[in-house]
Structure 1
Amino acid sequence: MRGDAVTLFLCGDVMLGRGVDQVLPHPGDPRLWEEYVRDARAYVSLAEAVNGPVPRPVDPSWPWGEALRLLDEAAPDVRVVNLETSVTRYADAAPDKAVLYRMAPANLPALAVARPDVCVLANNHVLDFGRAGLRETLGSLADAGLRTAGGGARRRSGVAAGRGARGRGGGRVLVWGCAMPSSGVPPDWAAGAGRSGVAYVPVASRAAAEEVVRRVRAVKRPGDVAVVSVHWGSNWGYGVPPGQVEFAHTLVDGGVDVVHGHSSHHPRPLELYRGRPVLYGCGDLIDDYEGIRGHEEYRDELRLLYLARLVPGGGAPAELRMAPVRARRLRLEEAASEERAWLRSVLDRVSRGFGVRVGQEPDVLGGLLYAEPATG
């Protein structure tokens, strides 16, 4: 923290499995269980067909590319990512699941290089290889010194009980992770008595949010910042269901400082509710989707690094900025000026209904976007 404020880096899905895993120094078994693609290396070939050759093996920092420099320049106090892949060598694939993600534990330096303080595991891929795969995922992350939230052994299901915390200065940043069926999380993945899994919330509602708030209030102290990271919603589109809005507002009314939403493959609307950031969908950050056709109108190759600056206790409205990047050759590059302008225009349009306008600071980190209350 600098002074009384804390700056958080938040992002959407970090998917280091499948094709990305295959170009890293220690690729795992490339076998897939998909209907049309049976070898993860095919996704590397798709990316190369669009944007050119990908060297192999790449350095662990390769998938993050220019994002690492941008993060170093922004110097956030705490970094939170949604790790949407299992970290396991197990091959006991979840039945009746169309797409599965796993990365080799030996490739975890490709995650550690971004220095995440908390890896959220409450999502629809962390149990792709069963509870044995989850156990290895948790052990591998712990061995690498990486903290987690939202996945593991919990006393009861249906509650966002997972928590990762990292102190900064006089206060702490507390992170709860939870997942909802609207993002494709099966109900039987829920953690329960004597059963590992994810922190599962069956529906986005006021009552469900109040239960999360109860957990937050039991832990949060003056000077702390509370983040609820939630995996919800469909992959495509800009609409936000009323239940998600009610859930997010109830969290903030109850003392949560940031609602960190993810699951969509592209950025969704932004809100500054009572001066606190609500990110309804952060979009993907790292994946192997280059060359996959369909939904081109969303330009899912364009990604965002979210930077939220808050004063604990709600003494001042949060500042929310975003650094645009783009995926090329399984690596993040700085976005071009036209790409920044497109992202700004789209986010401004879809966020106006939430009372937010999106502008651009041309001289900061290559052209940061920013969100602020709309005045008209």
Structure 2
Amino acid sequence: MKKNEAVTLFLAGDVMPGRGIDQILPHSVDPILYEPYVRDARDYVRLAEQVNGPFDKPVEPGYIWGDALAVLADVRPDLRIINLETSITTSSEYWLKGINYRMHPENSGVLTAAGIDCCVLANNHVLDWGHGGLVETLQTLEREGIQQAGAGRSRARASLPAIFEVPGKGRVLVFAYGSTTSGIPREWAAAPESPGINLLPDLSIATAEEIGKTVAEVRQPGDIVVVSIHWGGNWGYGIPEEQRRFARLLIDGAGADLIHGHSSHHVKGIEVYRNKLILYGCGDFLNDYEGISGHEQFRADLTLMYFPRLS
């Protein structure tokens, strides 16, 4: 059988176009916040302007990507996959958890401006504005023709992968999971008849085996399998042994070709295991932290664009 030509992916870590970023876009939600210290999302805009100077608002959707759009145009990846860490909604049903991200559905052009193909949603912010906010997020992505993985209107739908047919290069399957180690409330897990995310019970051998069964039900010969996981804390370069073990189990037993890890606000280590790439923490790609100080030693102001070639 003829081997398919290599597929080039664009992978990014956490993309958070809510809160302050939403406020500089053409259609902003109510700026009210329920954080311990900040009650108005526009305060994050003011903090950023104090550091980098004022700018005209509102901005065009592509503005927030900066130089990344030119890089994407130059590399021309076959698929563009991000961890979308915000709810796309006007819902006011907030989850009492300290930090709540949302972006107005009419600002979804920020995703199409970058040609995003797949949004991973199994993270600790997609349900910040309740189940209604998640459903509106799903509806918005469907309207824009953007596939998603890791959340759904039921447990069965939340566990489904995003499936892409790349002309002349075969299929790419994106499975997405969230771990409570990233701060995801257990109550956010999708139920048989109610919306939620695809939450891992743990990082055990048994869980890896279950993922392997799920992959085997869908995978066809020649498919490329990406497993995306939101796990771990926000700061620190250390990689827990349970993450390393679990990632390797997914490669050895579940047929994963690439592990797309995220949650850390900064870039973490990369491992090549049996010629398969493990990205333990891709770092934040877009956020509204410009005016916030602290943790400078981790250089969270630096971002990486990952362009693996898989075949």
TM range (shorter): over 0.9
For normalisation by structure 1, the TM-score amounts to: 0.80
1:215 & 1:54 partners in 2: Cα distance? 48
SS in 2 for 1:90: coil
Distance in 1, matches of 2:220 and 2:38, equals 49
Who is 2:186 aligned against? Answer: 187
> In the alignment, which residue of structure 1 is the partner of 2:213?
214
Per-residue CA deviations over 1:58-88 (Å, capped at 9, x if unaligned) read 0100110110110111111111100000000
| Alignment partner, residue 297 of structure 1 | 297
Specify the code of the residue in structure 2 equivalent to 1:236. W
CA shift for structure 1 position 235: 0.2
Asked if residue 65 in structure 1 is aligned to residue 63 in structure 2, the reply is no
Pairwise mapping of residues 19-98 of structure 1 onto structure 2 (< 5 A)? 19-95=20-96, 97-98=97-98
Q: Is contact 1:12–1:284 with CA below 8 Å preserved after alignment? A: yes
Q: How many residues align?
A: 307
Question: Does the 8 Å CA contact 2:20/2:288 hold for their aligned counterparts?
Answer: yes
Q: 1:155 to 1:299 in 2, by over 3 A?
A: closer
Match of 1:319 in 2: none
Q: CA deviation at 1:155?
A: 3.7
Structure 1, residues 201-232: CA drift from partner, whole Å, max 9, x if none? 02222221111111111111112110011000
Give the conservation status (yes or no) of the 8 Å contact 2:234–2:264.
Answer: yes
**Post-superposition offset of 1:250:** 0.7
Which runs of structure 2 are paired with 1:116-127 in the superposition (5 Å)? 116-127=116-127
Please, which runs of 5 or more residues in structure 1 have no aligned partner?
Answer: 312-376
* Structure 1: distance between partners of 2:22 and 2:163: 28
Query: Could you state the TM-score of these two structures normalised by the residue count of structure 2?
Result: 0.96
Distance 2:62 2:134 in 1: 24
**Off by >2 Å, runs of 4+ in structure 1:** 153-157
- Inter-partner Cα distance in structure 2 for 1:280 and 1:229: 10
Greater fraction of residues in strand: 1
Letter in 2 for 1:79: R
1:242 CA displacement: 1.0
Task: Provide the C-alpha distance between the structure 2 equivalents of 1:163 and 1:220, rounded to a whole number of angstroms.
Answer: 10
Inter-partner Cα distance in structure 2 for 1:261 and 1:186: 19
Look up the match of 2:249. 250
Shift of residue 170 of structure 1? 4.7
Matching residue of 1:236: 235
Question: What secondary structure sits across from 2:65 in the alignment?
Answer: coil
Distance 1:10 1:170, change over 3 A: closer
Q: Deviations over 1:152-211 (max 9, x none)?
A: 123469xx7231111112511110111000101000100121121000002222221111
CA distance in 1 between partners of 2:284 and 2:222 (Å): 31
Percentage identity across paired residues of the two chains: 52
Is the Cα contact below 8 Å between 1:170 and 1:223 reproduced in 2?
Answer: no
Structure 2 SS opposite 1:304:
coil
Question: 1:177 & 1:264 partners in 2: Cα distance?
Answer: 17
**Distance in 1, Cα, partners of 2:54 & 2:282:** 28
Aligned to 1:367: none
In structure 2, runs of 5+ residues without a counterpart are none
Superposed counterparts of 1:96-111, under 5 Å: 97-111=97-111
* Partners of 2:184 and 2:80 in 1: CA distance: 24
Instruction: Provide the residue aligned with 2:276 in structure 1.
Output: 276
Contact kept in structure 1, 2:4 and 2:170, CA below 8 Å:
no
Q: Which residue pairs with 2:262 in the alignment?
A: 262
Deviations 1:309-341 (A, max 9, x none): 111xxxxxxxxxxxxxxxxxxxxxxxxxxxxxx
CA distance in 2, matches of 1:39, 1:91: 14
* RMSD, aligned CA: 1.4
* Structure 2 match to 1:174: 173
Residue type at the aligned position of 2:73: D
Please state whether the residue corresponding to 2:307 is helix, strand or coil. strand
| 8 Å Cα contact 2:5-2:169 kept in structure 1 | no
2:93 aligned counterpart, secondary structure = coil
Map Cα deviations across residues 228-263 of structure 1 (whole Å, 9 max, x no partner): 110000000011111111110011112111100000
Partner SS for 1:148: strand
Q: Whole-Å Cα distance in 1 between the matches of residues 39 and 169 of structure 2? A: 51
Structure 1 contact 262–280 (Cα < 8 Å) conserved: yes
Counterpart of 1:276 in structure 2: which amino acid? K
